[in-house]
Amino acid sequence: MTSQVHPSSYISDKVKLANNVKIGPHCYLNGNISIGENTELKSHVVISGNTQIGKNNTFYPFSNIGCDPQDLKFKGEDSNLFIGDTNIFRENVTISKGTKDGGMLTHINNNNLFMTGAHIAHDCKIGNTNIFVNQVTLGGHVNIMNNVVGGLSAIIQFVTIGSYSMIGGMSGIDKNVLPFSLAIGNRAKLRGLNLVGIRRKNFDKSEIKRINDIHEQFIQGINFDN
């Protein structure tokens, strides 16, 4: 099936669309862009730069994908954005491309949900099956692994968030977060395991106990106020 493009949308000559891509009204695509099959742009979506998008993604109105980094050191480098498969980008999501200080690449894997107003800055690395609740903000060079959930939180530059972690609402994260952790607060502190998230992923009791024992060994003696 060929792609469907609304006549009010602008698609530059360099854009490559796979089969069954749907471009709704008033979208603007300008750059070295490729979009995989069954991806849909609802309306009023902007995609620019060197942006590669996989299949089965959905972009809601006023998302801005592949935009220039909000970094004063950025001087127009020909950097890139990669997006995998089956991601959802809700309204007003912004995803910046990379910079020369971060390998020239922002990279997003598969099956992630970016809720309204989420911002993913330059050179971030996003794994799989993460949920970025409304207004989450990632600074540059942030690494989010897999199955992480957070809402109304801000992650400072160069921080890594381990898999299966939960970031509490309105938290400010300025340190790395261990996998399986629950981190809450302004300049967040670890509050134990993310037990709800772990159980939802069907870890059995013996696995949870082992994770808990390892977690406690790591956090013993650490002063998170320094």
The pairing of strands 189-193 and 181-184 is antiparallel
Active-site residue identified among 123, 139, 162, 215: 123
Residue 76, phi-psi category: left (phi > 0), alpha (psi -120 to 50), beta (remainder): left
Rounded to an integer, what distance in angstroms lies between the CA atom of residue 178 and that of residue 181?
6
Active-site residue identified among 140, 150, 162, 168: 140
Tell me which residue has tokens 């695509």: 29
- For the question of residue 215 being annotated catalytic, the response is no
Active-site residue identified among 107, 119, 122, 141: 122
Rounded to an integer, what distance in angstroms lies between the CA atom of residue 138 and that of residue 177?
14
- For the question of residue 123 being annotated catalytic, the response is yes
- For the question of residue 122 being annotated catalytic, the response is yes
Cβ-count burial of 204 within 10 angstroms (0-12 exposed, 13-18 middle, 19+ buried)? exposed
Which residues are catalytically annotated? Answer: 122-123, 140
